[in-house]
Amino acid sequence: MVSQELLLGSVNPFFWSTYPELLAKDCQYAFLNNRRQSWLYVIHLKNSPPVAVYCDISTGVEGWTVLQKNTLHKDKILFGPPTWSMYKQGFGNLMSDHWLGNEMIYLLTRQNTFTVRFSVVDGHKNKHHADYSSPRLDSEANNYPLRLGDYSRDAGILTAMNETGMHDNMMFSTYEKDNDQWKNNRADEKGRGWWFDSCGSALLNNDHFTYWRGLCDKSNPCSSSIIMIKPSKKNCSPTPLPGPGDHIPVHEKS
């Protein structure tokens, strides 16, 4: 259960007056309810008060709920070194760079079967995607392990144990909470929270460069990353919810 106290200290401060309309339980429902602008929308997760999320509807054919966005602004430090509590609650600006929060991601992925997309933009402004079926984040009691399903697209697979992957089934780690498979603390070494094994083939929570083995590193930097989810085709087609309006402006922290 996400409390009002938790939301007040997170990326998603909770004010009843901010939420005149409850749209749905994810951004695909907002899209099916005739929302066509990428913006902040209000969703209502089970066991949680209403929360705001950024919905990416730029394709015009579906709605993606954004979990993370990092445009590598060089004038600020955002992703490191936040504490376990900060990664749990979320931080940043929902309209820009942010982490939605592990607790919200956990509740969100419990309520449906999703596809998750990890996207990076390389130094030549080409977009690369890694999609996984049936992603889930387990509870904080289990240290928020990441569960990934089958891979598709072109960025490189996070679940293969050779070239680009050792993050599936890994617990989340931060500098003060070491849950990785390394003898030391990989999150402390990197100064970022992430799903580390003993090493890592991707790290999108970085303030200076995005790492994705084979695509992005210090010598060949990518310009941005985004993680987002949408209901998978395994679900029955949801019924759009009634309600006027195209978007609802909400408060968010800078």
- What burial class does residue 178 get, using C-beta atoms within 10 Å of its C-beta: 0-12 exposed, 13-18 middle, 19+ buried? middle
Q: What is residue 162's three-state secondary structure?
A: coil
pLDDT at 132 over 60: yes
**What CATH class does 4-158+222-231 carry?**
alpha beta
Classify burial at 16, counting beta carbons within 10 Å of its beta carbon; exposed 0-12, middle 13-18, buried 19 or more.
Answer: exposed
| Token pair listed for 107 | 């509740």
Task: Please report the pLDDT score of residue 135 as a whole number.
Answer: 92
Q: In which element (H, E) is residue 136 found?
A: strand 136-137
- Domain extents for the chain? 4-158+222-231
Q: Dmax over Cα atoms in the chain, in whole Å?
A: 55
Within 10 angstroms of residue 1's Cβ, the number of other Cβ atoms is: 9
Q: Which residue has the higher pLDDT, 2 or 207?
A: 207
Q: To the nearest 10°, report the CA torsion of 28, 31, 36, 40.
A: -60
What are the pLDDT digits (tens) for 51-78?
889 999 988 889 999 999 999 876 666 8
Distance CA 110, CA 129 (A): 23
